[in-house]
Amino acid sequence: RPFTPFSWFVVLGRGTTPALREIFGNRQTTAMAPPLTITYGGISRDSIEELRKINTSSFPIQYQERFYDEVADQNDANLSKFAYWRGTIVGAICTRISDADDGDGKKLYIM
């Protein structure tokens, strides 16, 4: 099923700006962006540099080398994924499961 992260709508009528009225007129308009077909793939040691590029360009902090080693060496391939659009990496999600602080259960970090 297509993922649609950027669906949007514009409703115009009373109280809109002159610029919007010039572009759309005084009619009421609703528009939806076409669905994006996003696929997901694993993150491996061979692709870890791509993850580093995404993180460096997206976050104000720099992850330590240990973080990238842990992602690349995870036993469960479902914990970290790249998001692809038309074959190009456009995002990533990395998670880690660890023991809870009280020793009872687990906790999930989403990075």
Q: What's the CATH number where 72 sits?
A: 3.40.630.30
Q: What is the pLDDT of residue 18?
A: 60
pLDDT tens digits, 14-37 = 445 566 556 556 655 566 677 788
Q: Are residues 9 and 47 in the same domain?
A: no
Residues 41, 9 within the same domain: no
Asked if 99 and 55 sit in the same domain, the reply is: yes
**pLDDT value for 39:** 92
Exposed, middle or buried: residue 72 (CB in 10 Å: 0-12, 13-18, 19+)? middle
pTM of the model: 0.63
The average pLDDT across 58-84 equals 89
pLDDT above 50: residue 48: yes
Same domain, 24 and 45: no
Both 22 and 64 in a single domain? no
Q: Contact, 109 vs 96, CB < 8 A?
A: yes
Positive or negative, the CA dihedral 77, 82, 84, 87 is negative
The answer to whether residue 49 scores a pLDDT higher than 90 is yes
Both 49 and 100 in one domain: the answer is: yes
Range of the domain at 79: 37-110
pLDDT at 61 over 80: yes
